[in-house]
Amino acid sequence: MLITNIKGLVGLHPKDKLVLRGAELNHLPVLENAWILIEDGLIKDFGEMKHFPSSIAHLPSYSAEGRYVFPSWCDSHTHIVFAASREEEFAMKIQGKTYEEIAAAGGGILNSANKLQKATEDELFESAATRLKQMILQGTGAVEIKSGYGLTTESEIKMLRVIRRLKAHFSIPIKATFLAAHAFPAEFKDDHQGYISLIIEEMLPRIAEEKLADYIDAFCEKGFFSVEETDQILKAGAKYGLKPKIHANQLSVSGAIEVAVKNKAISVDHLEESNPETIETLRNADTIVTLLPSCSFYLGIPFADAKSFIKAGLPVALATDYNPGSTPSGNMNFVVSLGCIKMKMFPEQAINAATLNGAAAMELSNSHGSIAIGKNANLFITKPMPSIAYLPYSFGESQVDTVILNGEIYHG
């Protein structure tokens, strides 16, 4: 496939640039008036129209006049396998109930778990596939998906098998994360150690045997999993080669960052709450800081302090957190807008965070997340736009026109 007359080819980071830290996020390399050649699903070559090689002039081409070509969004934090939406909680939220109050009243994660336990694998696959298709049409070309609404051995495995089926069905890379430590099931409310033993002694060995997970996650938070409980689970996961990606500091500064870094987490996600010690801990680590502004938007909790994280030289990524309870949206375009509008990220920073650093948070940045020769051709072509900043500026609208996966147009 050949695309010509491109107004701007966006995100041309060198192939060996695998993550962008701090001020590096300010720089989003763009080639204006460009062409790109894709072969066998990979980016073969690109250049300026004024140096268009005559050797490829005979190839059929797609003209992208007035349009930009972006690397696909890399959404490194989602929970898209779920049985039912939770808009009944939406009304409670509007009445002023907090996330914790809704959970305590029988809503929240346990509500989703009840419904998921009753759903069949086929039903879960169908609804998750519908969500994923919609996300891809909105420009997402790599995704991480968590379990965590099962909360029993069979149901956690059921969720992870659904993710395995999604991997087989879709041509984008998908990473699976085991998140049994999402909430304590009612029967373990007063027996935390009992549930942790179930995770460690029963769930983990079976998941490892079936090779169902790439990562392990825990919701380390007051009222959910303590630092000590999280530590136990992460250490057990490490024995099976599962690296951590942690729900950290969503509702309070909890020690989650420290336990995550100590266990060599790939990413810490959320960080709506933070303090100078949080930043100090992260400064000396390779852990990626994944921010989820559409969760803040929906729950009405603070937005993460992206500017301070970037100023401290940290590698910030952006993701959706698509789930039925705190973020019923998988739209990365909106996430990038919120990154700019609510977290005061510059468009370049937000776009880098949603592409290359998102890929890094899934250990995919050697093949995805930027436009470089030899990288995978997961891209999107925008509608005609006056500038790159127009994409986050025009919030709530999608500027994504044509989605290309592995060098082929994706129609859904």
User: Can you give the binding site for Fe ion, defined by CB under 5 A?
Assistant: 321
Instruction: Tell me the closest approach of the beta carbon of residue 299 to ligand NIG, in angstroms.
Output: 8
Q: Are 292 and 251 in contact (CB under 8 A)?
A: no
Nearer to ligand NIG, 107 or 407 (CB): 107
Residue number, 294 or 382, with CB nearest to Fe ion: 294
- For residue 31 the two structure tokens come to 């080639």
Closer residue to ligand NIG (CB): 67 or 245: 245
Single out the residue of 18, 80, 109, 372 in contact with ligand NIG (rule: CB under 6 A): 109
Count, residues in the chain: 412
Q: Per CB under 6 A, does 250 bind ligand NIG?
A: yes
Q: Applying CB under 6 A, what is the total number of residues that bind ligand NIG? A: 12
Coil, helix or strand for 79? Answer: coil
Q: Output phi, psi for 390, to 5 deg.
A: -60, -30
**Taking the CA of residue 295 as centre, how many other CA atoms within 13 Å lie in the half-sphere pointing to its CB?**
26
Regarding 245 and contact with ligand NIG (CB under 6 A), the answer is no
Helices 108-118, 153-169: axis angle to 10 degrees equals: 80
Rg (CA), the chain: 21
Asked if 75 and 330 count as a contact pair (C-beta separation under 8 A), the reply is yes
Q: How buried is 51 (Cβ within 10 angstroms: 0-12 exposed, 13-18 middle, 19+ buried)? A: exposed
C-alpha closest to that of 391 among 163, 12, 93, 138: 138
Residue from 72, 76, 78, 112 touching ligand NIG (CB under 6 A): that is: 112
> Which residue's CB comes closest to Fe ion?
321
Contact 247, 215 (CB under 8 A): no
Q: 249-285: b or e for each residue (b if 16 or more CB lie within 10 Å)?
A: bbbeebbbbbbbbebebbbbbbbbbbeeebbebbeeb
| Residue 35 or 82 having the CB closest to ligand NIG | 82
Q: Is 297 in the site for ligand NIG (CB under 6 A)?
A: no
Nearer to ligand NIG, 290 or 382 (CB): 290
Contact between 295 and ligand NIG per CB under 6 A:
yes
| Among residues 254, 326, 337, 370, the one that binds ligand NIG under rule CB under 6 A | 326
Q: Which residue is nearest to ligand NIG (CB)?
A: 325
CB of 32 to Fe ion, least distance (A): 38
End-to-end CA distance of the chain: 19
Q: Kindly tell me which residue out of 7, 161, 175, 247 binds ligand NIG, with binding defined by CB under 6 A.
A: 247
Secondary structure element (H or E) that encloses residue 112, with its range: helix 108-118
Per DSSP (E only), the strands in 187-234 are: 215-220
Q: Which is nearer to Fe ion, 267 or 399 (CB)?
A: 267
Q: Of 108, 185, 244, 330, which one interacts with ligand NIG (CB under 6 A)?
A: 108
Instruction: Choose among 371, 307, 284, 329: nearest CA to 22.
Output: 307
Residue 269 or 363: the one with the smaller Cβ distance to ligand NIG is 269
Q: Binding of ligand NIG at residue 325 (CB under 6 A)?
A: yes
Measured in whole angstroms, how far is the alpha carbon of residue 131 from the centre of its chain? Answer: 14
Please check if 13 is assigned to a binding site: no
Instruction: Compose the 200-239 pattern: x for residues touching ligand NIG by CB under 6 A, - for all others.
Output: -------------------x--------------------
Residue 325 binds which entry of ligand NIG, Fe ion, none, with Cβ cut-offs from 5 to 8 Å by kind? ligand NIG
Q: Which is nearer to ligand NIG, 132 or 220 (CB)?
A: 220
Residues with Cβ within 8 Å of residue 301, at least 6 apart in sequence? 99, 250, 251, 272, 295
Q: Which among ligand NIG, Fe ion, none contacts residue 161 (Cβ within 5 to 8 A by kind)? A: none
Min dist. Cβ of residue 229 to ligand NIG (A): 15
Which range in 35-43, 190-198, 324-332, 358-366 contacts ligand NIG by CB under 6 A?
324-332
Could you list the residues that contact ligand NIG (CB under 6 A)?
108-109, 112, 219, 247, 250, 295, 321, 323-326
Residue positions forming the annotated binding site for 4-imidazolone-5-propanoate: 86, 149, 182, 250, 326
